[in-house]
Structure 1
Amino acid sequence: MSFQSIPGQERVKRILQNSLRTDKVSHAYIFTGQHGTGRRQMALAFAQALYCKVRVDDACGECLDCRKVEHGNHPDLHWLKPDGASIKIDQIRELQKQFSYRAGVSGLKMYVLENAETMTVQAANSLLKFLEEPTSRVVAILITENGNALLPTIRSRSQWVPFVPLSRELMVATLLAEGHPAVLVHPAVRLAAGTEAARELVLGNRFAEIRSLVIQLARESLTRLPTSMLTAQQKLAKSELSDQLPLFMDMLILWLKDMVQLCLGYHDELVYADQTDWMNGQALNYDMKHWVRCMELAIELQKRLRFHANPQLVLEKMLMQLKGV
C-alpha cells in the first residue's frame, strides 16, 4: 500500500514522507482521529515505506519487504490489538520480549498499537518505560480515537499526527466510483468521518433496511399515525432491529434536515433526493419551526437512548411530534 493510494490526509502524508526523505523518523507517533479516517491504512503504508528496499519516501509494493508487510508476516513488524476490551500489561511485556531480539537486515523494529487508549494503567506504564529505554532502533505508532486519553508522559514522548475528517465530496466520489448506490452513499458520508467508515455503513447488513424504514415511518406518521405506531413496534422496537435504533435516529435526523432545506426552497444536496416529490409536498404543509422542533426532539431522544430509555416510548413520542400531535 502506497501513501498515494490513501484518499485525503495530505498533511499527514507530507509529515511522514518528509521524515523518510530527511532520515528523521521519530521513535514514536500518535495517529489520532475518528474511526474511518485512514489511520490504520496510513500506519501500514508507513511501515511498508520504512522497510521498502526500492523507494526512499514511499512503498514500491513489489519488493520482498513490502509484500511481507502487506501480508502481515514481516518479522520485525508487530501489530497489537486489544485483548478483549483493553490492551493488557502481559501483551506489552510480550512485545518487549520480542524486541529484545536483534532486528533483521534493516536494523529496525516497529510496532503498531490499535485502540491505544484502551491500555490499562499497568500496560501504559510498562509501554512508557519501553518508549524511554528502547533496546534497539524502534518506531512505534499508537492508533487512537482520543489521543488525550493517553498518559501525558506518553504524549510528550511521541509525535502527534492528527487525522481530520475527509471531505464529503471526496468520499462520495470514491464510493460512487466503487459502484455503491447513491441512495446509500449520501447518508453514509454524512454519518462517517472517512471513506473506510462510510464504506462499512454502506456494506452493513441493515443500512439499506434502516433507510427504507425511516422513509416508511415518516410517510405513515404524517398520513396514518396509528399505522406508524404499529409499524414502529413490529419492525423496530421489538424486533431484531432494536439494536439499530441509534442508527435509525441518525438517519431520521438527516431526513429532518432535508425537510428544513425543502421549507427554505433548497433542493440541492438532499440526502433523500430520490424522495423529493412527496417530501416537498409534506414539508410545505408545516411551518419550518415544526421541522426544527422535530429535529431538536430527535437529538434529545437520541441522548436518552444512550441512558437506556424505553425504545417504544421514544419512537411513539417522535412519531407524534412528526405529525404535530
Structure 2
Amino acid sequence: MSFRSIQGQDRVKQVLQNSLRSDKVSHAYIFTGPGGTGRREMAKAFAQAIYCKVLPDDACGQCLDCRKVEHGNHPDLHWIVPDGSSIKIEQIRDLQKQFAYRASASGTKMYVLEQADKMTVQASNSLLKFLEEPTSQVVAVLITDNGQALLPTIRSRSQWISFLPMGRVQMKEKLLAEGHAPLLVQIAVHMAAGTEAARALIQTNGFAELRNLVIQLAKESLTRLPSALLTAQQKLAKGEFSEQLPQFMDMLILWLKDMVQLCLGSRDDIIYTDGMDWMTQQALSYPIDHWIACLEQAIETQKRLRFHANPQLALENILLRLKGV
C-alpha cells in the first residue's frame, strides 16, 4: 500500500508527504470524514511510508518493513478496533504497556485507532493522558466518521485531516473499468462516499435484487396499490430484506429524485436509466408538488426508521403517498 495506489484525496497525501519530507510528522492525527473515503488505506500507507527504508516520503512496498506493515506484523505498529461496540479503557492501557518498551530499529512507535469516536469516556481520558505526554518517537492516527465526537482536548492535541467524498465521475470510471454492472455502479456511486464503499455495496448480497425491488414497489404503488402493500410487508417489513431497509430507503429517495427531475422535463443525471420511459409517463401524470411531497416524506421516513419507527407502518404510509391516497 503506497500513497500512489490510493485514488483521490490528493490534499491529504500532500500534507502527509510534506511532513515526511520535512521530518515534521505530528505526534497525533485525526483522520475524519465519511466511510469509504480511504481513511484506513491512507493510515496504512502512512505507516508504511514512516517505516520504509527506501523512499523518504512513500512506501516502496518491497523492503522488509513495508512488507511487515502490509501483513500486519510490524512490531512497532499497533492497530486497535472496537471490542464489541466500543474501544475500552483496557485496550488503551494495554497499548500504553506496549509503548513502555523501546521501539525496534525503526525508532518510532505508531498506533491507529479505528472508529475512535467509539471510545468509552474512560478510554478517552486514558488516551488523553497518553497524548499530553507525547514523545518524538510516537505517532497516533485516530480514524473516525465524526471527529467532532472526540473530546475537545483530544482534538486540540491532534492535527485534523479531513477526507472528502470522492467525485462520482471518478468513482464511476474506476468501477466500470473493473467490470461491475453499469446499472449497479450508477446507483452505488450515489450511495457511497468513495470507491471502496461503492464497490462493497455492489458486492453485497442482494444489492441488485434490492434495486429491482424499489422499481417493483414503485410500479405497483402507482398501478396496483394492494399488491405493493403486500410485497412491502412480505419482503421488507418482515422478510428477506428487512435488515436492508435503510439501503432500500436510500434507493427509494434516489428514485424519487429521478421522478422530480423527469417531472421538470430534465433527463440529465437520471439514476434509474433502465426505467426512463415508464417513469417519465408516470412523472408527468402528477404535478411536481406531488413528487416533492413524496420525496420529503421518504426523507422523513428514513429518519424515523433510525429511531425504531414501525417498519411496516412507515412503508405503507410512503407507498400510499406515492399513489396519492
TM range (shorter): over 0.9
- Alignment-derived partner of residue 300 in structure 2: 300
Give the alignment of 1:1-325 within 5 angstroms: 1-134=1-134, 137-325=137-325
Note the C-alpha offset of 1:245: 1.6
Note the C-alpha offset of 1:135: 6.0
Are the equivalent residues in 1 in contact too, given 2:33–2:146 (CA < 8 A)? yes
Taking the aligned partners of 1:214 and 1:241, their CA distance within structure 2 comes to: 11
Taking the aligned partners of 2:68 and 2:172, their CA distance within structure 1 comes to: 32
Are the equivalent residues in 2 in contact too, given 1:100–1:135 (CA < 8 A)? no
Q: Deviations over 1:159-199 (max 9, x none)?
A: 11111111111111111111111111111111111111111
Q: Which runs of 5+ in 1 are unaligned?
A: none
Q: Deviations over 1:6-29 (max 9, x none)?
A: 111111000000001111111111
Note the C-alpha offset of 1:243: 2.1
Note the C-alpha offset of 1:127: 1.2
TM-score, scaled to structure 1: 0.97
Taking the aligned partners of 1:227 and 1:128, their CA distance within structure 2 comes to: 57
Structure 2 SS opposite 1:160 = strand
Note the C-alpha offset of 1:4: 1.6
Structure 2 SS opposite 1:110 = strand
| 2:40 maps to amino acid | R
Taking the aligned partners of 1:191 and 1:218, their CA distance within structure 2 comes to: 19
| 2:50 maps to amino acid | L
RMSD: 1.2
| 1:15 maps to amino acid | V
| 1:190 maps to amino acid | H
Q: Deviations over 1:84-135 (max 9, x none)?
A: 1111111111111111111111111111011111111211111111112246
TM-score, scaled to structure 2: 0.97
Deviates more, 1:209-218 or 1:174-183: 174-183
Are the equivalent residues in 2 in contact too, given 1:28–1:158 (CA < 8 A)? yes
Structure 2 SS opposite 1:7 = coil
Structure 1 SS opposite 2:267 = coil
Note the C-alpha offset of 1:268: 2.2
Are the equivalent residues in 1 in contact too, given 2:297–2:318 (CA < 8 A)? yes
Are the equivalent residues in 2 in contact too, given 1:99–1:135 (CA < 8 A)? no
- In structure 2, relative to structure 1, the CA distance for the partners of 1:236 and 1:310 (3 Å cut) is same
Taking the aligned partners of 2:226 and 2:131, their CA distance within structure 1 comes to: 62
Note the C-alpha offset of 1:266: 1.4
Taking the aligned partners of 1:254 and 1:30, their CA distance within structure 2 comes to: 32
Structure 1 SS opposite 2:317 = helix
Runs of 4+ in 1 over 4 A off after TM superposition: none
Taking the aligned partners of 1:84 and 1:65, their CA distance within structure 2 comes to: 30
Taking the aligned partners of 2:5 and 2:136, their CA distance within structure 1 comes to: 31
Q: Deviations over 1:253-303 (max 9, x none)?
A: 100111111112211211101111211111111111111111111111112
Q: Deviations over 1:222-268 (max 9, x none)?
A: 11111111111212112131122221111111001111111122112
Q: Which runs of 5+ in 2 are unaligned?
A: none
Taking the aligned partners of 1:8 and 1:287, their CA distance within structure 2 comes to: 41
Structure 2 SS opposite 1:50 = helix
Taking the aligned partners of 1:45 and 1:295, their CA distance within structure 2 comes to: 41
* Percent of residue pairs bearing the same amino acid type: 73
| 1:20 maps to amino acid | L
Are the equivalent residues in 1 in contact too, given 2:27–2:135 (CA < 8 A)? no
Structure 2 SS opposite 1:111 = strand
Are the equivalent residues in 1 in contact too, given 2:20–2:56 (CA < 8 A)? yes
Taking the aligned partners of 1:307 and 1:77, their CA distance within structure 2 comes to: 39
Taking the aligned partners of 1:25 and 1:259, their CA distance within structure 2 comes to: 50
Taking the aligned partners of 1:317 and 1:193, their CA distance within structure 2 comes to: 29
